[in-house]
Amino acid sequence: MKRTLGRCSFTGYNRPVPTTSEPGRSVSSRLLQVLFAFGPGHTRLTFAGLARRTGLPDATVRRLAIELMAAGALDRAVDGVLTVGTRLWQLGTLAPLTEPLRTVAMPSMEDLYIALQQHVQLAVLAGSEAVILERLSKPDAVGLVSQVGGGLPLHSSAVGKVLLAHTDGTLFDAVVERGLDPFTPQTVTDPAQLRRELGECRRTGTAIVREELTEGADSVATRIMDAEGRVVAALSVVVRSGSVPLAAVVPSVVTSGPGISRRLGWTPDVGVRGKLGGRSCSDGYWDSVRLLWLLGFCLVVDVLGRGRWQVAQVPVQQFSRSWMVSRIW
């Protein structure tokens, strides 16, 4: 089991502070500009590298970096290379939701990983993209475009669609206005079609993406709610196209969502924030969950009767450890 680290950005959330050194800028904005120069592929920088990435004068960069090192926000190795400091990492763990959400989600994520042996990832909405908080991966699983801490586009990733579906129309309009980039020939680039898919996602709580972001990769995602019924995260499984029938993946993913939500204080009577044609989002969602639980039950019965589960090509002894089966039995 491998956990990946890093950051990859598609949209505005991770855009660096404008690289400029115009007079009148505050010291704090320059300090942030130096910190934001670090990213995927740029985790170790020299003073000269910081100056190039920020556009600030060498003397200014050196002075600011020394101040950040004194505060523990940056560390300096024996070879003079700078990295993000431990103190800054500790501060980042205090961000609302992120660490508690990781903690409560991890058992379900591990169960999904054990059962399916595929990428399992947790994401939250940050600005105009879905940021990956955690991922469990097999070394030989299908390659992905982003890492933990990285961003995924909202219109072409399963977690992104789940999160976008449960926001107001303002963000949808902003995403459309920015442009629905065609990452593959299968990417949905028609705003009307995307709107219809998001409406279905709100009704069922699930999004299925087939090679829309990466060719050869399919994904199934479901929503996670907090105690007030707000959708605060999305959980997904990413599989190599054709390796596992998505119909066999959906039940496990969908039933994991309420399990994580309960640990955040959510209960079914709270429902899900939002109305669809006068009907609560949660009504259609629970219709789907009940159906999928029944489907999962039938699959398990088939396993017990035949000693194997050929549909998902997962050994019964592994599948029996999944969250869904433990809840059913």
What's the pTM? 0.61
Q: Stretch 85-98: mean pLDDT, rounded?
A: 71
What residue ranges in the chain does DSSP mark as E strands? 74-76, 82-84, 119-126, 129-136, 151-153, 206-210, 217-225, 231-240, 275-276, 279-280
Predicted pLDDT at 1? 54
The pLDDT score that the predictor gives to residue 156 is 93
Structure token pair of residue 166: 């449960």
Check residues 17 and 205 and name the one with the higher pLDDT.
Answer: 205
Lowest mean pLDDT of 36-45, 150-159, 212-221, 252-261, name the range.
36-45
Of all residues in the chain, what percent carry a pLDDT higher than 70? 72
Amino acid at 235: L
Q: What is the pLDDT of residues 95-136, one digit of tens each?
A: 665 567 888 899 999 999 888 888 899 999 988 899 888 888
Cα(224)–Cα(286) distance, integer angstroms = 13
Average pLDDT of the residues in 40-69 = 90
User: Half-sphere exposure of 306 toward its Cβ, with a 13 Å CA cutoff?
Assistant: 11
Q: Which residue did the predictor score with more confidence, 314 or 247?
A: 247
* pLDDT tens by residue, 206-229: 999 999 998 989 999 999 998 888
Amino acid at 285: Y
Give long-range contacts, CB 8 A cutoff, 24+ apart: 23-27: 27/64
Angle at 35 between CA 32 and CA 40, to 5 degrees: 135
| pLDDT for position 23 | 58
Residue 77 has pLDDT above 80, yes or no: yes
Residue type, position 311, single letter: V
> What pLDDT, on the 0 to 100 scale, is given for residue 149?
80
The pLDDT value recorded for residue 166 is 93
Task: Give start and end residues of each alpha helix (H) in 222-280.
Answer: 246-263
Pairwise CA distance, residues 4 & 147, whole Å: 6
Rg of the Cα trace of the chain? 22
User: Which residue has better confidence, 156 or 283?
Assistant: 156
Q: What is the mean pLDDT of residues 153-179?
A: 93
pLDDT of res. 86? 78
Q: What is the mean pLDDT of the chain?
A: 76
Q: Are 206 and 175 in contact, with CB atoms under 8 Å apart?
A: no
Identify the weakest region by mean pLDDT among 70-84, 142-156, 267-281: 267-281
Calpha distance 312→324 (Å, rounded): 14
